């Protein structure tokens, strides 16, 4: 669960999310540069921590559906977010867990726990572009997004689903697997409503769209995310329920010991 990952896959839990973006700010919209808009998104009010239940629907190119249920916990710290995901249904994935610890200025630490193995496995940097448990999200999508790893440019302003948006192109400086991202950010509440992900060859790879955007405890929250791989024809849908903020989550929840406690 950045423009790409700080939007709301990060805030699934996030994740990502990692991907709901920002409350209104006091700076006039006309005075903001593309980078400032993105920075306001990253700095948005999002609570000290968050818990949620999620239903994940994975749709293959031939239309076959697989449904999974999981619980997500996220805690913000001065060094970045800590995220724990735990799958509870169906039986063949029950107990599987994922832990991500962000670090400012250096790579995130990520671990995957599979009950059949009885221990967790660190996700290597070379694996970050791989699919997360057969979904259309990658491990990179679930990690931190460094704003200065990209050059940001305002392409245009337009309406999307009736809302006025900025359309911002973020071009990679050479880090990560995406060559660029194009993000639609609503002007009225700074929520990112659409993101296009481009591969290393500059071709459109995936499109993330968001929906069911509501305020919970005064925090703009995206309760539905759809990630579509346009090259493969697959799709992953995430639907959040029972979202709660500021529950006082303890640091010892986000440890390898707890990840392996199943």
Q: What is the pLDDT of residue 2?
A: 45
Q: Is 161 exposed, middle or buried (0-12, 13-18, 19+ CB in 10 A)?
A: exposed
Q: What is the pLDDT of residue 198?
A: 98
Q: Is residue 2 part of a domain?
A: no
Q: Is residue 117 part of a domain?
A: yes
pLDDT, the chain, mean: 88
Token look-up 């599987």 returns: 96
- Among the ranges given (12-21, 129-138, 163-172), the one the predictor scored with the smallest mean pLDDT: 12-21
Which residue range(s) make up the domain with 100?
Answer: 8-259
Q: Is residue 237 part of a domain?
A: yes
- Mean pLDDT to the nearest integer, 180-184: 96
Return the CATH number at 22: 2.50.20.10
Q: How many domains does the chain have?
A: 1
On the question of pLDDT at 96 being above 90, the answer is yes
Residue that wins the pLDDT comparison between 131 and 174:
131
With cut-offs at 50, 70 and 90, classify the pLDDT of residue 45. low
Q: What is the pLDDT of residue 75?
A: 96
Q: Is residue 207 part of a domain?
A: yes
What whole-number distance in Å separates Cα of residue 157 and Cα of residue 167? 6
Over residues 76-92, the pLDDT tens digits come to: 998 889 999 999 999 99
Q: Is residue 128 part of a domain?
A: yes
The answer to whether the beta carbons of residues 152 and 35 sit under 8 Å apart is yes
Q: What is the pLDDT of residue 43?
A: 74
Q: Is residue 1 part of a domain?
A: no
Best CA proximity match to 141, nearest among 51, 3, 17:
17
On the question of pLDDT at 133 being above 50, the answer is yes
Q: What is the DSSP string of 179-244?
A: SEEEEEEETTT--EEEEEEE-TTS-EEEEEEEEEEEEETTEEEEEEEEEEETTTTEEEEEEEEEEE
On the question of pLDDT at 18 being above 90, the answer is no
Token look-up 């406690």 returns: 261
Q: Is residue 3 part of a domain?
A: no
Q: What is the pLDDT of residue 99?
A: 98
Percent of the chain with pLDDT over 70: 88
Residue that wins the pLDDT comparison between 90 and 9:
90
- Give the containing element (helix H, strand E) for 35: helix 34-42
Instruction: List the structure tokens of 176.
Output: 């990560």
Q: Is residue 85 part of a domain?
A: yes
With cut-offs at 50, 70 and 90, classify the pLDDT of residue 21. very low
Over residues 238-249, the pLDDT tens digits come to: 999 999 999 999
- Mean pLDDT to the nearest integer, 47-74: 97
With cut-offs at 50, 70 and 90, classify the pLDDT of residue 106. confident
With cut-offs at 50, 70 and 90, classify the pLDDT of residue 8. very low
pTM over 0.75: yes
Q: What is the DSSP string of 46-103?
A: --SEEEEEEEEEEE-TT--EEEEEEEEEEEEETTEEEEEEEEEESTTTTT-EEEEE--
């Amino acid at each position: 669960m950045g423009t790409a990952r700080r939007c709301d896959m990060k805030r699934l839990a996030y994740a990502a999310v990692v991907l709901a973006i920002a409350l209104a700010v006091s700076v006039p919209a006309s005075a903001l540069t593309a980078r400032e808009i993105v920075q306001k998104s990253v700095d948005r009010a999002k609570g000290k921590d968050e818990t949620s239940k999620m239903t994940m629907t994975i749709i293959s190119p031939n239309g076959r559906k697989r449904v999974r249920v999981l619980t997500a916990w996220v805690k913000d710290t001065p060094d970045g977010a800590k995220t724990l995901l735990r799958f509870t249904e169906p039986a063949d994935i029950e107990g599987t867990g994922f832990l991500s610890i962000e670090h400012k200025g250096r790579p995130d630490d990520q671990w995957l726990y599979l009950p059949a193995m009885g221990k967790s496995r660190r996700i290597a940097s070379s694996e970050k572009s791989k699919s997360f448990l057969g979904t259309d999200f990658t491990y990179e999508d679930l990690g931190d997004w460094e704003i200065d790893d990209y050059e940001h440019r305002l392409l245009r302003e337009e309406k999307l689903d009736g809302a006025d948006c900025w359309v911002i192109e973020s071009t990679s400086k050479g880090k990560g697997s995406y060559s660029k991202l194009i993000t639609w950010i609503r002007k009225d509440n700074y929520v990112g409503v659409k993101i296009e992900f481009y591969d290393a060859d500059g071709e459109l790879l995936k499109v993330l769209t968001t929906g069911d955007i509501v305020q919970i405890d005064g925090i703009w929250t995206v309760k539905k995310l759809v990630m579509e791989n346009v090259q493969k024809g697959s799709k992953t849908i995430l639907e959040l329920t029972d979202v709660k903020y500021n529950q006082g989550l303890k640091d010892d929840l986000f440890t390898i010991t707890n990840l392996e406690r199943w």
